[in-house]
Homo-oligomer: A and B are copies of this chain.
Amino acid sequence: MTYCVGLRLDAGLVLLSDTRTNAGIDNVSVYRKMFTFEVPGERAMVLMTAGNLSVTQTVLAKIRHRMANTEASASESILRAESMLEVAEIFGRTLHQVSLDINSKMKAMEQQASASMLLAGQRRGGQPRLFLIYQQGNFIEATDDTPYLQIGEHKYGKPILDRVVTPATSLEDGRKAALLSMDSTLRSNLSVGMPLDLAIIPTNEFRIATHQRIEAGDPTFSQMSEAWSQTLRDGFANMP
């Protein structure tokens, strides 16, 4: 399983993912699920992936192959695409094609592979945008009404987001909310696990200002997790 969450705040984009991957309950590994793409001062983008690893790795390999091609067109390379919408279309198209290809083989064995992605970023001349891209290649976008999107195990971490995140939330509070949302998920679902990857893209800076790996036992994260537990227990004890 996986948990990835993205916030689209007025102040910028906050992205957080876990790294646990499993093939069956007895085969658990650490794989990066967050990938950054940056032309500093011009565009900054973060992709987060959930689902079948063979699908998401193949999509990334194809995307990178086209990024490296100096003759790729704007509709082929995410570094040349003229808007975040066009970047979302490139990822959507690639995800759709790879899924179709892999599933045509899986179906013969009565299996199937699914995957989804969160794409966040801003290009000079455009707004910060956050998309959830489905396996079929279509996507939805975060709005002021629903300023966050999640993929993977989304339920445990949703209540805190619903209560505290609005477009006006600061980047610091957004980071805190994303980490607490992850903390609730880590506690309730063993198939979501440390370390975590965190990235922040402040609005109109066109760069990834924060890109941090948070390891198991990280003192700041542990302290925050413990403080939140204490807040909940105290709040519960003091309820009328």
Provide a sorted-by-A list of 19 A–B residue pairs whose CB atoms are within 8 angstroms: A155-B155, A155-B156, A155-B188, A156-B158, A159-B159, A159-B184, A159-B188, A162-B187, A163-B232, A163-B236, A173-B236, A180-B236, A223-B240, A224-B239, A228-B235, A231-B231, A231-B239, A232-B232, A232-B235
Considering only residues 171-188 of chain A, those with a C-beta below 8 Å from chain B are 173, 176-177, 180, 184, 187-188
> Which 9 pairs from chain A and chain B are nearest by CB?
A231-B235, A155-B155, A159-B184, A164-B236, A163-B232, A158-B188, A155-B156, A227-B239, A235-B235
Q: How large is the interface on A (under 10, 10 to 19, 20 to 34, 35 or more residues)?
A: 20 to 34
Cβ of A229 under 8 Å from chain B = yes
Cβ of A107 under 8 Å from chain B = no
Copies in the complex: 2
Q: How would residues 201 to 240 of chain A score, 1 for a CB under 8 Å from any chain B CB and 0 otherwise?
A: 0000000000000000000000110011101111110111
A84 to chain B, nearest CB (A): 29
**B224–A164 touching, CB < 8 Å:** no
Rounded to whole angstroms, the CA-CA distance of A233 and B224 in the bound complex is 15
* Known A231-B239, A239-B228; contact A188-B162, beta-carbon cutoff 8 A: yes
A165 to chain B, nearest CB (A): 10
Rounded to whole angstroms, the CA-CA distance of A239 and B231 in the bound complex is 9
Rounded to whole angstroms, the CA-CA distance of A164 and B233 in the bound complex is 7
Rounded to whole angstroms, the CA-CA distance of A171 and B47 in the bound complex is 47
Rounded to whole angstroms, the CA-CA distance of A224 and B240 in the bound complex is 7
Contacts of A176 in B (CB 8 A): 236, 239
Which of B177, B188, B229 meets A236, CB within 8 Å? B177
Contacts of A236 in B (CB 8 A): 160, 163-164, 173, 176-177, 180, 231
